[in-house]
Chains A and B, each alone.
Chain A
């Protein structure tokens, strides 16, 4: 029954819609332009009750209106507006007016007067508010018309005394958005009502409705955003608003104070209840700090965030934020941080904690204790201990920003950041680790701090561990014990989570190269060498041993005395690792092996300019010497390619560029070689062998061009043209070769057709680039195009052959930044000793860990291919959440791939 009813309802519903649809469409057919307004007019006249009219209006609002008919529609609407008694319909009309004036291309100045007129007689507050909103839309559509704006602002000022909060709200919003910003205009209009928008808005800071107060502050902020310089007098008003009962008012007031503190950082404000004066930015800083312990967490987040951007604040205020005077029974107590520091400086290693270790020391004068801090005292201490993690994250971010600008503050906030490493929410932990990394150039970790930091290495979250490894990469450690500790903890980490291998090695690489002198005294211990006895040779495949070696070798790079401490097998291991893990092990100047390393090491010193220069020079050389004899060109190309490839290996920053150009030259070389072949002059069947070479070259060029187009990030359209051009040449070559080798004309017809189509599409796609391609293959080809289209395939082939030979070699303009997209699968490692076994028909999950470099939009483009032993391949699209973005241009894919296969025999 119910289903039946439902069906009926639907039927009726659809019926109604259809009818109206017909209605409209028929009208549209008959009347051309004024249809919209006429239809609306008819509808509205038909409407018997306000509810009906409202329905019509709602329907009308769903469809867009063309620019030309907007004005007519507006007139109709206004006409009905005056007649209408029902407030809700008027409200809808008012909102429609606003909507219509937003239509692109429509200039609403013609309807402004009407809109203002409607305001005069309106009684309903809601409709008034809506009308003001419409005026706001109109005003924002006419930014170039100050007089209109002035008028609107005046209208708004008139309605500011309205008793409804909604109307006042809108008025303030309007003033904020349209109020005159330039000084000159304000002076001109001084006689008029809107002489000083700031004053008008400021008066509403004390409105009885919190929503209006908020709107007033927001309007003020809007004015500021539009470029008006706010007066300093507002500051004291804004300060009062900080104690408002409503959170949205406080939140906006905090923002306003922040804006003012940025505008007038150096002006002096008096401290109430004393005769002293301080800088405004300091005062504002203190006030915002105070808001970090506000009752509403929204305000707290806001305040904590803004603190970070107040870098002009004086340092002693800044340092107060981390200060919290501890006391116990009115006696001064030291914080755990102070105690830790003392313990450290006294040279005593952390002993067991004693009962009464934190026993309070000196008596405090009761009068001197200030429980509610007047200033910035302890703001961050509170913020970092907050209940809501949003506040804590904001506080950590603010700490980060402040610490970046003030090294002394960075030193001070270290203890607190280290504490945050133990937060209960992972995001906060991660954020604080990142923060620490960002300020690491300013700080040196004490041993006890390092201890806490290293404890986090055992965290089960991979992100946290890796963030920490990155942090350790750029941390300064003060003592050799610290290095030792770090190494021990990292090795512990390695045994617990073997998958972190790469990241740990990398971390140790930097740790070693940053602290060569601290590593030096540790070397005998780390390598477990003994002055008298030979120690057994460690296992070369042990990741932990490799980790130690990475640390030592990187330290040895800038510490020439270190190799003397190595034992024989260490040198052997060095040679092995230098080959197998060349990115982690630097070349060393070893005593016995000068010849291997010394020629390499000077060239490796990263000099941006010479290598760049070299690149350009070699390219110049190639491009200039085109008219050399073919043999010479070939040789030159070969040399240049070799040079470029070597350069790419040596200079990681230029690798992409060098590879790219080398590939291009390689293509050119192949093309030249193919054209050099003798087969062209002889009958085809005789030279099948050479023929194979030429067609292979064509194939290879095609492949390389696709690689060039898609495997590099940063390729611009200029390069794409050249690449496509090269591909076109390759296709021409292919065509020639097939024409030579195949008998009969029929297949050639198709091929010629296809080739000509491609030439055509090339021309269409790159028409703008053609002028740059004087004398090129395609340039010549296009000249001959009319002839080509009409001629027979054999002739086409002939023409192609000659043009291909005559055409010049195009310059490849180099883009600014070019990187080769690479994917490196870290896990699963190839050639594993234990094959993956799973029952047929069931699913097994395989962890895949890969780093992707310079891949654009990896979420959309990267897929994982599984190749089963029987040759079957399966493409898997990883979830977007599996991609992490540890740095610019780098992505990391950590995902699980499900394997399944039926049994095979």
Chain B
């Protein structure tokens, strides 16, 4: 039995990922995310949902964080320090390294800028990170004696991992966010044929099949190149981690290849720290970077330099990456205002923009923007949109399911309507049941756990020798005694079982009387019966003993005349429990009577 429940978060919704899995009595929490859209209590998952009474540490066996995005780890300090959890938290090395930077940044914005109180502190982040146990890819970690977890590469962002959680022979795979197509800095997600009982997959792009990444990259590079050659400036608003690095690598290699000289700047801040970690965790990147880092680490950018505010007014072409990504505030907006008036310049939006932001406005074609102070900003620069997103599309999700071959699939982290479509497809193509629980809903999945039983080698060999040669395709029937002792199962021979349990052996014998109408003498009847049985049971040894009884193997048949009616003979059939099959067959055979022809 595998119970599965969702904390309020990331059911049919993106953001605030938090999933609780109970597997064979173990409780594991997967991800501990926050919701970007809320500023009140709703931003964190409702942990009281997990357990009303008792401490979380007692209830949960471990917490697993799939990657460092805040919607997957944002609530971690709150959960561990403020709600209180002291158990182990598992994440990969890069996640452990980058996660605190992002949490600190998030804390700064919320507390220092927005002035909120009752929020976790820097110390809490540190304390929380102390509870983290870092895992390597494909390393099997024994959480306790029964529960083990294993990380698989997931692409998406640096250090993103899929986790396999296994108790006994029941297992769950949680994908986190993953990407099945490689990009410029990360490889594709990969999993072996682990055949889990349940695959919990994200489904952000459940109804999308994307075009080749190459076209997008080419377009992007062409746009940038053209603008730079024209002498224009290119502004690329990005969020600090993830896509930013991909685009940096993309431009860096392009500059290298094409021998371009125009400067590329990256607005400083947390990116520099994060870039440092990208440099360190080379093994988590894609083939190209892994293979060439001996000559040169790709993240040691040659052409990309730190940005200074004064550079924005420099003449000549340049490319600037600036945060934040939606042009709603900060440096990117400042630079945008400076450059918007020149039609030679260009702004490239590499991601989605929320309604109401400047980014969204210009993307929807607005050319005159009203800024604060009733200023009207005329946008003459070119506006481009490129989607660089690192989630698996519908095909990718299907591909992962094909690779892992799960028995059940559960979709999270997506919109209900889209998931419905994918669910239907999964059921149709793979013939596995698929679930899509809403927030807070619990799904129970019944499994057919196979229970391992120890068998002594002697017994196995003896049993295997009987009957046909073992065949991998056919199940084989074996005889033995199942001993359940001290929480272990063993299959032993009956004799050994008796000996171990100190029991005496009992013989069980069945006796049955069969009435036959036969006027002849007793020994004649016996002879007839003997001939009849001999004729029918050719494969068995049928013997006529001198004392007037018949044995078929170990079954004894005796005939006596009926005390009242001499014409009726009573056949006494007796067999042991072991010969039950043959014995019952014999009686039914005798009950049919003897053939008349012999008389």
Contact = CB atoms under 8 A, between A and B. Distances in A.
The yes or no verdict on A and B being binding partners is yes
Interface of A: 161, 206-208, 245, 293, 295, 324-330, 333, 335-337, 352-356, 358, 366, 369, 371-372, 381, 384-389, 416, 419-420, 422-425, 452, 455, 458-461, 496
Interface string B449-462: 00000000000000
Given A355-B363, A459-B257, A369 B208 contact: no
Interface in B225-256: 225, 253, 256
B211 A326 contact: yes
B580 interface: no
Contacts of B365: 354-355
Interface centre among A356, A385, A387 (most CB of B within 10 A): A387
A419 B212 contact: yes
A352 B258 contact: no
Question: Which 10 A-B pairs rank lowest in CB-CB distance, beginning with the nearest?
Answer: A336-B215, A387-B182, A355-B363, A208-B472, A419-B214, A458-B258, A330-B207, A387-B188, A371-B398, A295-B403
26 contacts: A206-B473, A245-B193, A295-B191, A295-B192, A324-B211, A324-B212, A327-B208, A328-B208, A335-B215, A336-B215, A352-B384, A353-B385, A355-B383, A356-B385, A371-B394, A372-B395, A386-B182, A389-B288, A416-B212, A419-B214, A422-B217, A424-B184, A459-B257, A460-B256, A460-B257, A460-B258
B364 interface: yes
Interface of B: 181-182, 184, 187-188, 190-193, 207-219, 221-223, 225, 253, 256-259, 286-288, 363-365, 382-385, 394-395, 398-399, 402-403, 418, 421, 424-425, 429, 469, 472-473
B210 A385 contact: no
B364 A335 contact: no
B434 to A, nearest CB: 13
Contacts of A371: 209, 394-395, 398, 425, 429
Contacts of B191: 295
B402 A372 contact: yes
A206 B472 contact: yes
Contacts of A420: 214
A355 B259 CA distance: 30
Nearest to B222: A455
A703 B419 CA distance: 85
A782 B223 CA distance: 81
Contact of A207 (B193, B288, B469, B472): B472
Contacts of A354: 365, 385
A366 B420 CA distance: 10
Given A352-B384, A354-B365, A496 B259 contact: yes
A293 B187 contact: no
Given A208-B472, A327-B209, 4 more contacts: A329-B207, A353-B219, A371-B429, A420-B214
Contact of B211 (A208, A336, A353, A496): A336
A352 B214 CA distance: 19
Contacts of A335: 211-212, 215
B457 to A, nearest CB: 13
Contacts of A161: 469
Contacts of A452: 218, 222
Nearest to A335: B211
Given A353-B219, A496-B259, A389 B207 contact: no
Given A371-B395, A385-B182, A385-B212, A328 B207 contact: yes
B409 to A, nearest CB: 13
A329 B214 contact: no
A422 B209 contact: no
Nearest to B362: A355
Contacts of A387: 182, 187-188, 286-287
B425 A385 contact: no
Contact of B193 (A295, A389, A460): A295
B418 A329 contact: yes
Interface centre among A337, A369, A424 (most CB of B within 10 A): A424
A273 B214 CA distance: 36
A372 B209 contact: no
Contacts of B256: 460
A204 B402 CA distance: 26
A354 B429 CA distance: 37
A356 B418 CA distance: 20
A416 B214 CA distance: 9
B472 A385 contact: no
A355 B385 contact: yes
A352 B472 contact: no
Contact of B190 (A295, A324, A353): A295
A419 B215 CA distance: 7
A355 B472 contact: no
A513 to B, nearest CB: 30
Contact of B212 (A295, A384, A425): A384
A489 B460 CA distance: 78
Contacts of A385: 181-182, 212-214
A416 B399 CA distance: 22
A307 B495 CA distance: 61
A433 B209 CA distance: 28
A371 B192 CA distance: 21
Contact of B253 (A352, A356, A424): A424
Contacts of A459: 257-258
A416 B218 CA distance: 12
Contacts of B429: 371-372
A460 B209 CA distance: 35
Nearest to A451: B222
Nearest to A293: B399
B212 A355 contact: no
Contact of A460 (B212, B214, B259, B469): B259
Contact of A455 (B193, B214, B225, B253): B225
Contacts of A327: 207-209, 394
A305 B27 CA distance: 47
Nearest to A161: B469
B173 to A, nearest CB: 14
B221 to A, nearest CB: 7
A324 B209 contact: yes
Contact of B288 (A293, A369, A424): A424
A297 to B, nearest CB: 9
A44 B210 CA distance: 71
Contacts of A422: 214, 217-218, 221
Nearest to B220: A353
Contacts of A461: 257
Contacts of B287: 387-389
A336 B181 contact: no
Contact of A352 (B208, B382, B395, B418): B382
B75 to A, nearest CB: 29
B256 to A, nearest CB: 7
Contacts of B399: 293, 372
Contacts of B184: 424
A496 B258 CA distance: 10
A324 B258 CA distance: 31
Contacts of A419: 212, 214-215, 218
A385 B473 CA distance: 39
Contacts of B425: 369, 371
A358 B188 CA distance: 25
A771 B383 CA distance: 86
Contacts of B187: 387
A355 B348 CA distance: 11
A366 B219 contact: no
B248 to A, nearest CB: 14
Nearest to B418: A329
Nearest to B402: A372
Contact of B384 (A353, A381, A386): A353
Nearest to B259: A460
Contacts of A293: 399
Nearest to B195: A245
A295 B190 CA distance: 7
A330 B257 contact: no
B258 A381 contact: no
A291 to B, nearest CB: 12
